[in-house]
A and B are shown apart, each in its own frame.
Chain A
Amino acid sequence: MSKSSTILQVHDICRYFDEKEVIHNVSFQVEEGDIFGFLGPNGAGKTTIIRMILGLIKSDSGTIKINNYDIKSQFLNAINKVGAVVETPTFHENLSGYQNLLLIKNLHPELPKSRIDEVLEIVGLTSRAKDKVHKYSLGMKQRLGLARALINYPKIVFLDEPTNGIDPQGVVQLRELIVQLAIEEKITFFITSHILHEIEQICNKVAVIKGGHLVAHGYVKDLLSKEVETVDIVTEYKKDALKLMKPLDFIEDMVEIETGVRVSLKTGHSGELNKLLNNHLQVDYLIPVHQSLENVFFELTGGGKNE
């Protein structure tokens, strides 16, 4: 494989809505071949940033380049090899799935009509192509949206909460399809989600956004190998446990959970903690929490609540 090159470059973008700064100096980049997870709780600014990248809403400052073309000054080139589903996909509901795709194919005169059948096949909608879209289920609309995003042989595809409205089985299929397209068609993916476990297996890189600030950005494996581990202390005496652990300098964070207290601590100190706790109060269990991206995400975004 040739050496990776930057396909999306977001540099220092800001956006205000009614005097309120909703996106604060966000910068990141996506390399060709990445499956890039863009994570954040509701209202964090994921959709706003996608819309800014795609030129639908303007940034107040900063620059965005797709394929090295500036989205503002070289829009036609920048957008040419892009596919996108922004929020829930929208269609002309009184037209069929096929006709909706035809409308988009017409915007790329170089594409043959057979490309419509191809993308319908990819998402498994061939048999329903002639039905009007208002008869489609939400999951079918998501798939038709994906078909539409693929029609122009994009180099990068943006999917905004693609699992929204899809059943668990469908989510698995979608994940497999994304990986397959990434490998076979060499498509770079930019996927936003607030439901982490649905995409964490397939992303190689992630950025985490909270309240319009980028709080983490990098390879999934680097984020996971942080020097922190998480354990759940199962005990009835939550208050006492909290008080006891407060002065300990290897504790990074503590939150009360239903069964006790969840603590993040520097790796290698859990034995020490265990001894200390057992000497002072009754602890039922100490359960190490499997370190997944989800825990990192919760740490970074403070339990998923925005501000």
Chain B
Amino acid sequence: MSNLIKNELLKQLLGGKKIYIFMAAIVFFNLLGVFELNFVDIEYTINAQNYSLYMLATVVLYVLPFYVILVMTDMITTEYVQGTLKDTLLHPVKRSSILASKLIALFILIVGFITFSLVTNYIFGVGFWGWGEQFVYEDPNYATGIVYSSTEGILRTIGGYYISVLPLTVFGLIVMYLGFLFKSSGVTVGASFGLFIILNAIGGMFEAVRPYLFVSYFRELASVVFFEATTYSIYVSFIVLGIYGVVGFAFSLKIFNNKDIFY
């Protein structure tokens, strides 16, 4: 299994420029935040301590979902159609192990990007505002934000970054399933992107269903778990994500096990 994971990472790291393009995109968006904050009035202090947290939503909503879509499409639809999925299947490996290793590789890649984003944001924060005196959290319930000790604030920020890997990985499982349905990478990307947009739109219109849509958690899981935002129950959050994950994997495995490999 570890060899299969290594293979998936090798293909992603050596087989294309996607990694570098998305690293550049993260740098770009994180700089955009610096630029934006210089023009927008906010009610509380921004400094290196809380800039990372401020930028988390941007990365997990506008950058990483697209990375997840492209990588999973690569791993499933593209590999199937270009015939390289078959090449793996001609060796003694279980189809379930193949799927699991693709998922774990995606997880590792997202962790890498989250780390990269976290680090660049602290660097940009120090560079543009200095370290600062205190950590202020912009709580929607308090106009001026609430203050944590520096250590606590930073630990909560780090927790918030890494917990966001979970909903993104769950999204990877949904894309995995879609990837088996289509014979064209473009269609898989389009369908996944469409699903992402539609679910976000539904969440925007109906507040009551929001806790049951995985897309809500790209942004919200961090505040649910690490910043005591009480809008969603922490239990509901994990149960919902767990169900999406288990169902996504089970459906993917079923379709893969029954699939005739024609390419």
Contact = CB atoms under 8 A, between A and B. Distances in A.
A54 B91 CA distance: 10
Contact of B90 (A84, A93, A94): A84
Contact of A56 (B7, B16, B86, B94): B86
Interface string A180-212: 000000000000000000000000000000000
A106 B90 CA distance: 13
A29 interface: no
Contacts of B261: 51, 56-57
Given A95-B11, A107-B3, A107-B4, A90 B91 contact: no
A99 B86 contact: no
A108 B91 contact: yes
Chain A binding surface SS class: loop
Contact of A91 (B4, B84, B92, B93): B84
A95 B7 CA distance: 12
A233 to B, nearest CB: 46
Contacts of B87: 90-91, 103-104, 148
Contacts of B14: 94-95, 99
A174 to B, nearest CB: 20
B6 interface: yes
A55 B94 CA distance: 12
A30 interface: no
Nearest to B88: A107
B3 A57 contact: no
Nearest to A54: B90
A94 B3 contact: no
Interface of B: 3-4, 6-7, 10-11, 14-16, 82-84, 86-94, 260-263
7 contacts: A77-B92, A90-B82, A91-B87, A92-B15, A92-B84, A103-B7, A104-B91
